[in-house]
Amino acid sequence: MNSIEVLRKDVVDELMNLGTMKKVWPIWKPQINLILNSDNPVESQQLRALGNQLYDIFKSSSSGERGQDDVSAGGTAWEALVCWYLNLCLAGSRTVVIKAKKKHIPTPISDSITVMYGSSPSNTESDLLAITFPSEAESSPYSGSITELNAKLSSLITNKFAETELTVIQCKTNWNDNAQIPMLWDLIYSSTGFNNSAVSVGKNGFISSGLKKFTYAFATVPTVDPSKIKNTSTCVLRVRNISGGNYWGRASKPAVAMNLFEMINRNFQTSLTSYIGGWNAAIGQIVSDQIDNNNYFKI
């Protein structure tokens, strides 16, 4: 595997070893396999269809309790499901979706999304980071450690920062309570300057606006009854115009939210256009080969 696929595998391996995922995966896996018809070669339309069913899959393991521990576990499970699904759809591409964990984040990426208030750093609530690496990251097989890989990718991005793309993805189960957070962070990153000179975006010479493309996205289940969410709902209005788009685990609903696969269409065009013959022609074989070999997606 090249550097990008080694990173993707390590990210997904860690997801599948989370305590929360070990509890829910036996419930989710049969539903996912039914949609993907994984006993046969996977097809692109099945992957897209899976994006419409993530709400039902997530809810199938929900206890219905709303205690703090349950809320936390639910948030972890949703974040992991989004990360798993996007990486599955992007297998073989230059984009990897990672949890905001230090060992997987190249230093220039972390620096570029740091907001400085005076001498105090403050980072966005970035549950997931989708990094589209420069093409050089695909060039040759990699067999070293993850620590060494992070150093290699950090060096590459340092030298090719203007060729790197990033989407920050905030994942929340409760849309009503959390919609204002991505709205405000997106405003901070899209600002061309602050009246208060003590506030700045980026450090060490890296700033999000210096990337080839930078967007901020929101992905929700949601836990509230979806039928109650209208295009005039406050939670919808708050995220309607964020740069990376607003998504949920259901089929797209005009002027409310897009299905999760649309995040790939909107934010990862560089990767979509890099598949030989196009994504629809190539992705099924890539995923089927992965299942037949090491199957780290566990489907």
DSSP secondary structure of 6-57: HHHHHHHHHHHTSHHHHHHHHHHHHHHHHHHTTTS---HHHHHHHHHSHHHH
Tell me what pLDDT residue 101 has: 78
Assess whether pLDDT exceeds 80 at residue 219: yes
Assess whether pLDDT exceeds 70 at residue 112: yes
Tell me what pLDDT residue 124 has: 61
Boundaries of every domain in the chain? 3-99+112-292
Closest-CA residue to 244 (of 165, 174, 173): 165
Residue by residue, DSSP assigns 241-263 as: T-TT-EEESSS-BTTTBEETHHH
Assess whether pLDDT exceeds 70 at residue 5: yes
pTM recorded for the entire structure:
0.93
Tell me what pLDDT residue 126 has: 63
Tell me what pLDDT residue 52 has: 97
Name the amino acid, one letter, at 263. Answer: M
Cα–Cα distance for residue pair 58/62, rounded to 1 Å: 7
The CB-based long-range contact list for 3-6 (8 Å cut-off, 24+ gap) reads 3/133, 3/137, 3/138, 3/142, 3/149, 3/152, 3/153, 4/93, 4/94, 4/96, 4/133, 4/137, 4/138, 5/91, 5/92, 6/142, 6/146, 6/149
Local confidence band at 217 (pLDDT 50, 70, 90 cut-offs)? very high
> What is the mean predicted confidence (pLDDT) over 285-293?
92
Assess whether pLDDT exceeds 90 at residue 29: yes
Percent of the chain with pLDDT over 90: 73
Percent of the chain with pLDDT over 70: 93
Q: Which tens digits make up the pLDDT trace of 183-215?
A: 989 988 887 666 666 788 899 999 999 999 999
> What is the mean predicted confidence (pLDDT) over 93-105?
91
Q: Which tens digits make up the pLDDT trace of 241-268?
A: 999 999 999 999 999 999 999 999 999 9
Assess whether pLDDT exceeds 60 at residue 94: yes
